[in-house]
A and B are shown apart, each in its own frame.
Chain A
């Protein structure tokens, strides 16, 4: 399987001297559904900006499906579709005009542009709004418009920068289904998101970037395996006023009918249930706590911050 995106030693230093990227190396395989995670200001959007030619890099090499973005920029750009974080279309043009014009910028014939515009606007539920000026759309519709626009030249690599920010749950789920569908058809997808649940649900591989450096790059499964603890949520029949005391287990009373407990992987839960039964606490249902990735994310980013602090203080780490 070929490499969809290859980034080697990418450095970006802004005019004010701030180094946003400090030698980023990243490979994304063709067909992958890849998450690029990181806290605010970590370098996610700068990395995406360089790939899409909206940010000028200071050093390093970037190629998309083997096309160098410097020397083969036209071919490289044809491979990429970008859905940016901020709305970046004319607020005064209609939905259809925006998408058809974008097709023109990629050199697509009018007949193809019109046909594909109808196809993607219908798929994204915007066909009824085709003659509506963009400013009249809701936030979710504007996001879908940017996805339709990014897909009009049928790119092999689709990059989405926080695509579901500010989108309601129902719409987010339908966008996930749509993205899964186009990924299944062969489009490589790179996603940045703040919703770690989103990355866990959609992506196969993940890189975590912090302070301009990749601090982790692996599969989502492998990353989750490194968690040696699991958090379970118990729903109880009785309303609880205090935390039951079960030796060797640290229970938390989340709500009056909900207990949370962190358990080492592989450890039996029988003793815990016995302890709860002895205190007349009856568990009626249990589940894993979601956002496991979030815990890893926090620990990795914290580790990266500690390392940076130590280096700043001249401590050999």
Chain B
């Protein structure tokens, strides 16, 4: 395929992905917004007012960046894992496999579909958060850069999960038993400086901590970790996972007989 044909194929996949999550917006866009609004009310307004300051900011201002990031990464992951697994389950993934679309375009299409949903939910959650706190952006480039890269990374993770999944149960195991604990322990609700030294060290092994803190730095200008290291780490993970996903597509693992 020439570059123009590849662009058309990529646009077709992205259009299909966006159309899919927009068609079922009640399942894809509304629930995360309601959940996050409840977090804002309970943790931010009700409990947060008794907590006082965190990291030099009132608790609501501190928790909002983490909650936005949490919604971005879970929705990016969910979109790709459910869409790609459904395509496998209904066998309409064969529409792409029989076509001349190169593997990297298939992967890019699904990943950008996940990014679109992640960012759409993130944007709506951000708008909702404005009802609860004033949001000032400390560094636009850091904010946009880390949110985009995190969304890409979690979309790739969702892709790997979908390839290996054999049932709908398999696509909820990783989010429930891995993603949720990592997110809740990733500094969304607290600064790791509150933890004993040992647990601070353990927390630093959690990749979500770096993404949440880099995003918080972009908005508030404070972070528990080194921002450059966060960007480099996410970048390396993206490259490694992208290569692995392309390998899965090339070998046809769980996709071709």
Pair B12/A54 contact, Cβ less than 8 Å: no
Our pick among A56, A92, A93, A104 for the contact of B8 (Cβ within 8 Å) is: A104
Pair B100/A74 contact, Cβ less than 8 Å: yes
Pair B94/A84 contact, Cβ less than 8 Å: yes
Which residues of A have CB within 8 Å of B100?
73-75, 77-78, 105-107
Q: Which of B92-138 contact A (CB under 8 A)?
A: 92, 94-102
Pair A54/B8 contact, Cβ less than 8 Å: no
Question: What's the dominant secondary structure at chain B's contact region?
Answer: helix
Q: Tell yes or no: A89 within 8 A of B by CB.
A: yes
Pair A88/B12 contact, Cβ less than 8 Å: no
Q: Tell yes or no: A52 within 8 A of B by CB.
A: yes
Q: Which of B6, B87, B98, B252 gathers most chain A CB within 10 Å?
A: B98
Q: Which of B71-106 contact A (CB under 8 A)?
A: 86-87, 90-92, 94-102
Q: Tell yes or no: A279 within 8 A of B by CB.
A: no
Pair A107/B97 contact, Cβ less than 8 Å: no
Q: Tell yes or no: B16 within 8 A of A by CB.
A: yes
Q: Tell yes or no: A149 within 8 A of B by CB.
A: yes
Pair A105/B96 contact, Cβ less than 8 Å: yes
**Known contacts A49-B257, A89-B90, A90-B92; is A105 also within 8 Å of B99 by CB?**
yes
Pair A74/B1 contact, Cβ less than 8 Å: yes
Pair B95/A107 contact, Cβ less than 8 Å: no
The 8 A CB mask of A51-89 against B (1 = contact, 0 = none) is: 011111000000000000000011101101010101111
Q: Tell yes or no: B19 within 8 A of A by CB.
A: yes
Q: Which of B11, B13, B87, B95 gathers most chain A CB within 10 Å?
A: B95
Chain A interface extent, by class: 35 or more
Chain B interface extent, by class: 20 to 34
Which residues of B have CB within 8 Å of A97?
16, 19
B119 to chain A, nearest CB (A): 22
Q: Tell yes or no: B4 within 8 A of A by CB.
A: yes
The 8 A CB mask of B232-257 against A (1 = contact, 0 = none) is: 00000000000000000000100011
User: Which 10 pairs show the lowest CB-CB distances between chains A and B?
Assistant: A104-B12, A107-B5, A105-B99, A74-B100, A88-B91, A77-B100, A55-B257, A90-B92, A52-B98, A88-B94
A-B contact pairs, 26 of them (CB 8 A): A53-B256, A55-B256, A56-B252, A56-B256, A56-B257, A73-B100, A82-B98, A88-B90, A89-B92, A89-B95, A91-B90, A92-B20, A93-B16, A97-B19, A98-B95, A101-B12, A101-B16, A104-B9, A104-B15, A105-B100, A106-B9, A107-B1, A107-B5, A107-B6, A107-B8, A108-B8
Instruction: Mark A residues whose CB is within 8 Å of B.
Output: 14, 46, 49, 52-56, 73-75, 77-78, 80, 82, 84, 86-93, 97-98, 101-110, 149
Additional A-B contacts beyond A87-B91, A92-B23, A101-B95 (9; CB < 8 A): A78-B100, A80-B98, A89-B92, A90-B92, A101-B15, A105-B99, A105-B100, A106-B99, A149-B95
